[in-house]
Amino acid sequence: MPVTKKSSSLDLPLAGLAALFLGSGTLHLVKPQVFEPIVPPQLPDARKVVEVSGVAEIVCGLGLLHPRTRRIAGLASAALLAGVFPANVQMSVDAGRRANRKRTAKAAGFFAGTLARLPLQWPMIKVALRAGKGNQA
């Protein structure tokens, strides 16, 4: 008889996404100054935006870990990832400007990392949406 995954099982991509959210959310709260520069200037109180987004990431990460909350957490995670994408683009733009100004290997490497990160948003959104559908198999 073939072994099938239950829809409530926590697979590696989902566990990875939860871990990313938990780590990033914690970093938002422990070192908010790292994230404040990428908050759009149209939003008031960058520190508060960073703190709220950090709490949202932690809540999503925890929600993804439990089968009873996974569906809503998956949908919320997809929305959060889409919502922060402009900030990630802004981070890349700023890093590119800095790399162009400084012309150091470290600045160029950081810029390359921010660019490489952008297309990774899509697979993370796909994992979150799969969780939101209750489709873990």
- pLDDT, tens digit, 9 for 90 and up, residues 94-110: 999 999 999 999 999 99
Helix ranges (H only) for 31-103 are 46-65, 67-102
Percent of the chain with pLDDT over 70: 92
Tokens for 97, please give them.
């400007």
Do 32 and 54 meet the contact criterion of CB atoms below 8 Å apart? yes
Question: What pLDDT is attached to residue 3?
Answer: 44
Separation of alpha carbons 84 and 133, rounded Å: 21
Separation of alpha carbons 98 and 112, rounded Å: 12
Separation of alpha carbons 65 and 70, rounded Å: 7
At 17, the amino acid letter reads L
Domain layout of the chain by residue ranges: 12-85+120-131
Query: Is the pLDDT at 6 greater than 90, yes or no?
Result: no
Predicted TM-score (pTM) of the model is: 0.83
- pLDDT, tens digit, 9 for 90 and up, residues 22-66: 999 999 999 999 999 888 888 889 999 999 999 999 999 999 999
Query: For residue 54, with 0-12 CB atoms within 10 Å meaning exposed, 13-18 middle and 19 or more buried, which class applies?
Result: buried
Nearest Cα neighbor of 61 from 10, 14, 21 is 21
Separation of alpha carbons 42 and 3, rounded Å: 52
Q: What is the mean pLDDT of residues 69-94?
A: 93
